[in-house]
Amino acid sequence: EKKKRIFSGIQPSGELTLGSYMGAIRNWVDLQEEYDCLYCIVDMHAITVRQDPATLRRRSVNQLAQYIACGLDPKKNIMFIQSHVPQHAELSWVLGCYTQFGELSRMTQFKAKAKQHADNITAGLFTYPVLMASDILLYQADLVPVGEDQRQHVELTRDIAQRFNSVYGDTFTLPGAFIPKMGARVMSLANPESKMSKSDPDGCVFMMDKPEDIMRKFKRAVTDCETAVKFDKENKAGISNLLTIYCAATGKTLAEAEAEFAGQGYGVFKPAVGEAVVELLRPLREESERIMKDKAYLESVYKEGAEHAAYLAQKTLSKVYRKIGF
């Protein structure tokens, strides 16, 4: 039986975070045996907001090193940098002609980002979901592991695919969102009501942070004025987030963690969470640093990845071009 295909990517618009690891990359590692996976570094999405060129190029390659350090095997997955495969841009133009202005206007992420970047609302920011649809449909992906915030984009991708298929006959596989139940949602340490994000460096732990920085961030984590280490998302968002992180880092259950810290204050609990995260990230950081130095190896991985991806992408693109009259 043919393995199901998965496509997923992260923008190199900032350093990878504890959230991207616990919420996405760690799950990708579990998927690599059972599925046929493409893991992409989506630099074309990153330029929907202004990027420094040298930083973007360095981050893209470093992100590949970090994917590998996290356990993604370039021999088991197709790992590549989006801009190296021109078919993404080509299909994106075509699909844009099968997408309604109104549909894109309803995307909640666009509305949020337009507010955030009010002085630079580009057409690229607006058509971002069309490029994402191209990423997925080019490879006939069955499943797209995404966070809750990307579910709407996967639904739009399905709508575009369905529309195209109904006009031109079966062309694209209809993909589904795959929201793994394991995926922890990690909240900001500074503001536990919002997601930990690279755009909020105060409350964010980065995968490459040094142990002393990680410890400082956890010791300063916002909590509440009680003392009990209890999971209660409504009333104790900060402590609940720290418990989630602690369990994700150690593999313990919530009940085990609550029992472990029963009767101990936050002054004991917060540094314990910090220590657990330091130990979780230490080998990943050390391995990333080692791989980052091996430029020749990284180049061979992204070149092979792009070649393999382009081969698959071109099959779809040729079919599409033939159908629409090119």
| CA distances to 4, 17, 67 from 26, in Å | 19, 12, 9
Q: Which segment (7-15, 68-76, 84-92, 263-271) binds ligand ADP by CB under 6 A?
A: 7-15
Determine if residue 196 is labeled as part of a ligand binding site.
Answer: yes
Task: State the Cα–Cα distance between residues 272 and 289, nearest whole angstrom.
Answer: 25
Q: What pairing do the DSSP bridges indicate for beta strands 5-10 and 36-41? A: parallel
> Which range, of 14-22, 61-69, 220-228, 233-241, touches ligand ADP by CB under 6 A?
14-22
Applying CB under 6 A, among 146, 242, 284, 313 the residue interacting with ligand ADP is 146
In whole angstroms, how close is the CB of 146 to ligand ADP at the nearest point? 5
Least distance from ligand ADP to the Cβ atom of residue 41, Å? 9
Listed ranges 20-28, 115-123, 125-133, 305-313: which one lies at the site for ligand ADP (CB under 6 A): 20-28
Task: Check the annotation: does 11 bind a ligand.
Answer: yes
Give me the least distance between CB of 142 and ligand ADP, in Å please.
Answer: 17
66 touching ligand ADP, by CB under 6 A: no
Kindly list the catalytic residues. Answer: 113, 195, 198
Provide the minimum distance between the beta carbon of 234 and ligand ADP in the complex, in angstroms, as a whole number. Answer: 19
Instruction: Note whether 31 binds ligand ADP by CB under 6 A.
Output: no
* CB closest to ligand ADP, residue no: 23
Is there a contact between 189 and 217 (Cβ–Cβ < 8 Å)? yes
User: Which range touches ligand ADP (CB under 6 A), out of 48-56, 190-198, 209-217, 227-235?
Assistant: 190-198
263 Rama class: left (phi>0) / alpha (psi -120 to 50) / beta? left
206 phi/psi in degrees, rounded to 5: -95, 150
- Check if the beta carbon of residue 31 is closer than 8 Å to that of residue 183: no
Task: Give the nearest distance from C-beta 301 to ligand ADP in angstroms.
Answer: 20
Does 19 sit near ligand ADP (CB under 6 A)? yes
For residue 290, what are the CA distances in angstroms to 65, 205, 224, 286? 9, 21, 40, 6
Q: Of 208 and 317, which has the nearer Cβ to ligand ADP?
A: 208
Q: Tell me the binding residues for ATP.
A: 11-13, 147-149, 186, 195-199
Q: Tell me the binding residues for L-tryptophan.
A: 135
Binding residues for ligand ADP, rule: CB under 6 A, are 10-11, 13, 17, 19-20, 23-24, 146-147, 185-186, 195-196, 198
